[in-house]
Amino acid sequence: MDGEKILIQANVSDERRSDGFVYIETFNQTQKMQVALRKLALFWGLAILSILIPVFHFVLVPLFFALGFFFAHRGYKSEGQVLSGSTTCPHCHTEVVVRKAELNWPITEICQGCARVVRIEKA
């Protein structure tokens, strides 16, 4: 499972651009639904476990219940997964490694060289 290579451009919210690439895996409708259901199950599982915690359960149970909906919705809206990637910071030219994460364009990473937020968009 190598994913699909996408050429990208990185920017730090000004006119400077630098090139790079990311490998992504796009999910189909069924996979998106699976991601959403897994998240729902995870958070509702936490909600059920929280019932056992005295006092805090008043907060935690509804919180995890709501978070379940939130992350399930976000997971469903996500187009897939970023597997890996690389670009350079347009400001300080440090290499920016794209970590494995949920795919939501634009991808953002923090530059390790100058701590700027690097926005990564499809070229």
What is the binding site for Zn ion (CB under 5 A)? 89, 91-92, 94, 111, 113-114
Question: What minimum distance in Å lies between the beta carbon of 88 and Zn ion?
Answer: 8
| Cβ–Cβ under 8 Å, residues 65 and 49 | no
Nearer to Zn ion, 67 or 111 (CB): 111
Question: What minimum distance in Å lies between the beta carbon of 56 and Zn ion?
Answer: 41
Question: What minimum distance in Å lies between the beta carbon of 115 and Zn ion?
Answer: 7
Nearer to Zn ion, 48 or 110 (CB): 110
Nearer to Zn ion, 2 or 15 (CB): 15
Pairing of strands 117-122, 107-110: antiparallel
HSE-CB of 109 using CA atoms within 13 angstroms: 28
Query: 21, exposed or middle or buried, with CB in 10 Å at 0-12, 13-18, 19+?
Result: middle
Question: What minimum distance in Å lies between the beta carbon of 93 and Zn ion?
Answer: 7
Nearer to Zn ion, 5 or 16 (CB): 16
CA 80/CA 63 separation, integer angstroms: 26
Q: What's the length of the chain?
A: 123
